[in-house]
Amino acid sequence: MAIELDNVSIRFISPDGKATVALRDFSMQVRHGEFVAVVGPTGCGKSTTLGLITGLIKPTLGEVRVMGNEVKDTDPRIGFVFQNDAVFPWRSVIENVAAGPLFRGMARKEALDLAQTWLGRVGLDKFGNHYPHQLSGGMRKRVALAQTFINKPEILLMDEPFSALDMQTRVLMQDELLNLWSEQSGSVVFVTHDLEEAIALADRVFVLTARPATLKRIYDIDLPRPRKMEEVRYQPQFIELSRQIWSDLREEVHIG
Amino acid sequence: MTSTTSNIETTVASRHAPLSAEALAREEAAARKRIRGRQTLVISLRILFLVVVLGGWEIGARRGWIDPFFYSQPSAIVDQLVVWFRDGTSQGPLWEQVWITLEETLLGFVIGAVGGVVCGIILGRNKLLADVFSIYIKVANSIPRVVLGSIFVIALGLGMASKVALAVVMVFFVVFGNAFQGVREADRYMIANAKILGASPRQVTTAVVIPSAMSWILASLHVSFGFALVGAVVGEFLGAKQGIGLLISAAQGSFNASGVFAAMIVLAVVALAVDFILTTMETRLLKWRPQQF
């Protein structure tokens, strides 16, 4: 197993001393090379599951294991793509992409060469010397993808990475992500509130309940790969799945 | 048949005439002319305003509406500046006075700014230290720090040290406050991103926290240079052997209003020159930022 969450519960204490339970007895297993999507009502604690896997959040009860070892610190084999822009605005695009290797002690020349090849892969080879504010939202997301993929993560965590993009750009980015992922063969945990995005991308969809979140149901998505975003959503199987998952989710949204 | 086609073409062409290349060029030329005309207007109005104010002052003084003994007059101020430049001041050559005040200001500015940035970053990165010391810094910040000048003159004497100390105190708190705020405002997603990309705590500070605090720090440097100058000049007021502050207090002592104004102009020129240098530095360091409108 690439990732195992074993009966994890999380209790947050806010700065003014109030306790809230974000996750309750939550278990989840992600296999090597598997693409998993996590959906649930807003604010239920979806992102918290990712925080647990990175080690930035510690579980109150239960255990989190990555590659069989208990998570203690940020694991170098993990990559993370954030919902908001987390690229560094004071670094040029190529220096942003090279950030990971540079932090990890690669020589500057080598890191920049590597970054250049990654810029080519996400179609930004002519924008290396631009600053992030000069790019469109979709291009900045590509920078973020290249910045993460350059570290060759065996586990990729994504927290609603495309939710701020417009519809067309989002579909393009989803295709891009599937391409990059199929070349790398890592495991992906993709958190989203967009049901169709989850079904279109994932091998399995985890549906969470309202807060305090726990696992409601797991759906196997046996749509054939490679998938094309603009085609997959019109298949009858896709429509049937989204109807089922939506009825599951609707109950939770009502409760919330 | 051919005539109809050409007819249609001409109507299309005439309908699109305002969008043709030469029409656009004409419009562009007209727009450029308007922009130039406005710039000329603004500059002429600025000069006019200056002439009216200075001219009114001069005429008022000559006609006796304003008493030049107390309020001086532009021509007398110019005369005073000429005398200082040509013959030097009562304390020695003018450039020497300027240099001394500038030296005190710069020393105080650099020490205060570096101290402020370092302390701001340390406290900004450490929650406990911040919680413990923030109350004292608020208190220290609310005291009118100029008063400390008297202490410094008593303790450090009439030399340069007391002025530098006052300038340091004036600068430190402004820069500290901004550096602290800047560090606190550093985006937590960016910090998390850097950590996951493999940054050590030190790399997080140098690669994320300091750059993101930079725009706050640079903004405070602008303001605090003015404070450093105030600190140095007030220090010289309180007791000194040389410097522009002493020049002003000497002019005050001999009821020489022109001298006070002339010294003020010298100070303004120094401050503007340094401000220009700081602005240039800022645009170079913050070239990653989107243009502000």
What pLDDT, in 10s, does the model give residues B241-291?
A: 889 999 999 999 999 999 999 999 999 998 899 889 888 888 888 877 776
The dihedral sign for the CA sequence B64, B70, B71, B74:
positive
Any domain includes A82: no
Please determine, for residue B62, whether its predicted confidence score (pLDDT) is greater than 50.
Answer: yes
Is the pTM here over 0.80, yes or no? no
Q: Is residue A100 in some structural domain?
A: no
ipTM of this complex prediction, to 2 decimal places = 0.87
B290 interaction partners in chain A (CB closer than 8 Å): 133
Mean pLDDT, rounded, of chain B: 88
Of all helices (H) and strands (E), which one includes residue A183? helix A167-184
Contact A74 B194 (CB under 8 A): no
Based on the number of CB atoms within 10 Å of its own CB, is A129 exposed (0-12), middle (13-18) or buried (19 or more)? exposed
| CATH of the domain spanning B75-285, picked from 1.10.510.10, 1.10.3720.10, 1.25.40.80, 3.30.70.20 | 1.10.3720.10
Q: How many CB atoms lie within 10 A of CB B104?
A: 31
The average pLDDT across A90-119 equals 93
- Interface touch A99/B212, C-beta < 8 Å: no
CB contact under 8 A, A74 and B196: yes
Q: Give residue-wise pLDDT tens across range B11-22.
A: 655 667 777 888
Alpha helices for chain B (secondary structure H): 2-15, 21-63, 68-71, 74-87, 94-125, 127-142, 148-156, 160-185, 188-197, 201-204, 210-238, 244-253, 257-285
Question: At A11, phi and psi to the nearest 5?
Answer: -120, 120
In sequence order, the 6+-apart residues with CB closer than 8 A to the CB of A180 are: A121, A122, A145, A149
Q: Which long-range contacts (CB under 8 A, 24 or more apart) does B74-83 make?
A: B76/B258, B77/B258, B77/B261, B77/B262, B77/B265, B79/B258, B80/B256, B80/B258, B80/B259, B80/B261, B80/B262, B81/B262, B81/B265, B81/B266
Asked whether residue A177 is domain-assigned, the answer is: yes
Q: Tokens in use for B241?
A: 């052997």
Q: Poorest-confidence range of A83-97, B26-40, B164-178, B273-287?
A: B273-287
Q: For residue B7, name the pLDDT band (cuts at 50, 70, 90).
A: low
Number of domains in chain A: 1
Contacts of A135 in chain B (CB under 8 A): none
Q: For A65-88, how does the pLDDT look when each residue is reduced to its tens digit (9 = 90+)?
A: 999 888 888 888 999 999 887 899
- Do the domain assignments include residue A139? no
Answer whether residue A48 shows pLDDT above 60.
yes
DSSP assignment letter at B111: H
Residue A91: inside a domain: no
Helix B148-156 vs helix B210-238: crossing angle, to nearest 10: 70
pLDDT in tens, B202-242: 999 999 998 888 888 888 888 899 999 999 999 998 888 88
Domain CATH for A73: 3.40.50.300
For B197, the token pair is 């990309």
Q: How much is the pLDDT for A202? A: 92
Is the CB of A155 inside 8 Å of chain B's CB atoms?
no
- Residue A90 forms contact with B (CB below 8 Å): yes
| B29 vs B36: CA distance, rounded Å | 11
Residue B1's pLDDT band, with cuts at 50, 70 and 90, is: very low
Q: Minimal Cα–Cα distance from A131 to chain B, Å?
A: 6
Contact B208 A88 (CB under 8 A): yes
CA distance B208 to chain A (A): 7
Cis peptide before B144 (omega within 30 of 0): no
Is A128 a domain residue?
no
Provide the residue ranges of all domains of chain B, joining segments of one domain with +.
2-63, 75-285
- In this predicted model, what pLDDT tens digit does every residue of B97-124 receive, in sequence order? 999 999 999 999 999 999 999 999 999 8
- Residue-number span of the structural domain to which A251 is assigned: 3-77+153-255
How confident is the model at residue B146, as a pLDDT?
84
